[in-house]
């Protein structure tokens, strides 16, 4: 599961990192509480070129009559992504990279209170998540959306949640995008135990209106 993200790196730096042509409408950073239905910068590979472009978080299948015609599909399970009608075509032909600096997950205390954790690469390198994307059209309405691919959590994060987003090492970016042939399915696994650093943060992030660097301060 991945339901909130952060992105603090400038769009220009991310475009250079990926060797991608940047769009003009990329979201302004830093952002410390990115939520589903918000715009996010993602990397795609089209016409033999990488593009850093804006998409809405929350995959909208082609048969939806409106963006709210069904469940908000913010995640796609690695175990079923190749067979599920919502995702199978995108899994084959429309994969993307989702740059971030970290993400949030929640546990609960004995009273049922939601306790947020902030999770980010232990070496503070950019986090790159595996995603799939979709162009949705109805009449003149058009929306480009994505979902984050998730897998069963590995030893590093399973004490917090039973699932984690699929994160990709730099040598795997091209394979996930479809530049380097087949084998993307083999990348949909949990990160090594030492990949992430995780710590509790203030519950104020439970509100999707909360903003500011204090959201990722350890408590």
Model pLDDT, residue 213? 97
Q: Tell me what pLDDT residue 182 has.
A: 85
SS3 label, residue 25: coil
Rg (CA), the chain: 17
Angle formed at CA 51 by CA 94 and CA 184, multiple of 5 degrees: 35
Q: Predicted confidence band at 219 (pLDDT cuts at 50, 70, 90)?
A: very high
Q: Which two tokens stand for residue 4?
A: 């909130």
pLDDT at 71 over 90: yes
Share of the chain above pLDDT 90, in %: 95
* Nearest-angstrom CA–CA distance, 54 and 33: 17
pLDDT digits (tens, 9 = 90+) for 72-104: 999 999 999 999 999 999 999 999 999 999 999
d(CA 64, CA 69) in angstroms, rounded, equals: 5
Distance of CA 90 to the CA centre of its chain: 15
pLDDT grade, residue 192 (50/70/90)?
A: very high
> How far apart are alpha carbons 15 and 17 in whole angstroms?
5
Please report which confidence band the pLDDT of residue 2 belongs to, taking 50, 70 and 90 as the band edges. confident
d(CA 35, CA 172): 26
Confidence of residue 1 (pLDDT cuts 50, 70, 90): confident
Place 190 in a pLDDT band, splitting at 50, 70 and 90. very high
- For the structural domain made of 5-216, what CATH number should be given? 3.90.1680.10
Residue range 115-128, pLDDT digits in tens:
999 999 999 999 99
State the distance between the two ends of the chain, measured CA to CA, in whole angstroms: 23
Q: Comparing C-alpha atoms, which of 186, 147, 146 is closest to residue 168? A: 186
Nearest to 161 by CA among 177, 150, 172: 150
pLDDT-based confidence at 175, cuts 50/70/90?
A: very high
DSSP conformation class of 191 = P
At 136, give phi and psi (nearest 5°): -110, 135
DSSP assignment of 19-58: T-EEPTTPPPS-EEEE-TTSEEEEEEEETTEEEEEEEEES
Output the pLDDT for position 216: 98
């Amino acid at each position: 599961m991945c339901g909130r993200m952060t992105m603090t790196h400038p769009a220009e730096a991310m475009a250079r990192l990926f060797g991608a042509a940047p769009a003009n409408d990329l979201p302004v950073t830093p952002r410390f509480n990115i939520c589903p239905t918000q715009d996010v910068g993602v990397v795609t590979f089209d016409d033999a070129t990488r593009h850093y472009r804006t998409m809405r978080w929350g995959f909208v299948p082609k048969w939806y009559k409106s963006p709210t015609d069904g469940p908000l599909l913010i995640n796609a399970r690695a175990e079923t992504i190749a067979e599920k009608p919502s995702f199978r075509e995108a899994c084959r032909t429309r994969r993307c990279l989702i740059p971030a600096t970290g993400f949030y997950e929640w546990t609960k205390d004995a009273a049922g209170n939601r306790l947020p954790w902030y999770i980010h690469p232990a070496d503070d390198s950019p986090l790159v998540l595996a995603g799939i994307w979709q162009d949705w059209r109805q009449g003149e309405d058009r929306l480009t959306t994505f979902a984050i691919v998730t897998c069963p959590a590995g030893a590093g994060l399973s004490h917090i949640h039973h699932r984690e987003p699929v994160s990709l090492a730099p040598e795997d970016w091209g394979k996930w995008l479809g530049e380097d042939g087949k084998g993307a399915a083999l990348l949909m696994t949990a990160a090594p135990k030492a990949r992430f650093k995780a710590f509790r943060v203030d519950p104020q992030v439970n509100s999707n209106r909360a903003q500011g660097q204090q959201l990722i301060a350890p408590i």
